[in-house]
Amino acid sequence: MSRMQKFIALLILVIPAVLAGVGVKLMRDSMFGVINDPFTMTAVQFIVGLVLSIAGIWFIGGYILHREQKNKRAAERFRKKENTTVDKD
């Protein structure tokens, strides 16, 4: 793997982590009544923060699960099922 590929892979993981961090900040600000610029209501700001947090954590978790499945280190219940079709004659 070249250095550029490793850098791009790192960026792919850093961007969702930053988005999740921004989501936590938006939720925290709405809990304390601080309204940030593009929002006019704290409820909308909280919901956007919640969506950003969930999306970022979901992406990172999915990446880790995919990597563990590829390296065959995932728990049994998270492993992909093999294609075990039986031909019926």
In-domain check, residue 81: no
- How many folded domains does the chain comprise? 1
In-domain check, residue 86: no
Q: Is the pLDDT score of 84 beyond 70? A: no
Please tell me the predicted confidence (pLDDT) of residue 89.
Answer: 56
At 79, is the pLDDT very low, low, confident or very high (cuts 50, 70, 90)? confident
| DSSP-derived secondary structure for 5-58 | HHHHHHHHHHHHHHHHHHHHHHHHHHHTTPPPTT-SSHHHHHHHHHHHHHHHHH
- The candidate with the shortest Cα–Cα distance to 43, out of 53, 55, 30, 62, is 30
Q: How far apart are CA 67 and CA 71, in angstroms?
A: 6
pTM of the model: 0.78
- What is the residue range of 31's domain? 3-74
In-domain check, residue 69: yes
In-domain check, residue 24: yes
Q: Is the pLDDT score of 50 beyond 60? A: yes
CB of 1 within 8 A of CB of 17?
A: no
